[in-house]
Amino acid sequence: MNSPSVPLSLRLDQCRKGACLRITELIPQPLFGAQDDRVALRLRELGFLPGTIVKVIGVGFLGRDPLAILVNGSKFALRRAEAAKIKGEIVPGLLSSHDPLASREPLVSPTAGEARQ
């Protein structure tokens, strides 16, 4: 089994450093209360749209928060609360080749490391 037949669906805040996620939808986040729609709108304006592939390029020290995310060539710092609004499927094998400090642990399947987009 080289790659899972059913794509792994998870939220961006559940991803490890180095993981790539193809966004499927933005889900509500009760922490933002009445502002939630505006946060979702801003995320979409910044390029976090269904179909877009984003990559976790850094995580903070305490509680692995915030996350640094690469989207369309721009980088953004997102707290876990914002990242939890973003749901998607892991894209296997999109680990960057030149990220010396990226997590060495397998993200999905140990053999899925070679294929590129």
- Name the residues that contact other proteins, by CB under 8 A: 31-35, 38-39, 41-47, 49-50, 57-66, 68, 70, 72-79, 81-82, 96, 98-102, 117
What is the smallest separation between the CB atom of 5 and other proteins, expressed in angstroms? 27
The nearer residue to other proteins, 103 or 109, going by C-beta atoms, is 103
The nearer residue to other proteins, 4 or 79, going by C-beta atoms, is 79
Identify the CA nearest to 55 among candidates 77, 36, 70. Answer: 70
What is the smallest separation between the CB atom of 91 and other proteins, expressed in angstroms? 13
CA distance 67 to 37: 21
Which residues are 89's β-sheet partners? 9, 22
The nearer residue to other proteins, 76 or 89, going by C-beta atoms, is 76
What is the smallest separation between the CB atom of 103 and other proteins, expressed in angstroms? 11
DSSP 45: H
The nearer residue to other proteins, 6 or 116, going by C-beta atoms, is 116
CA distance 42 to 48: 9
Structure tokens at 46: 């910044």
Beta-carbon contacts of 99 under 8 Å, excluding residues fewer than 6 positions away, are 18, 57
What is the smallest separation between the CB atom of 38 and other proteins, expressed in angstroms? 7
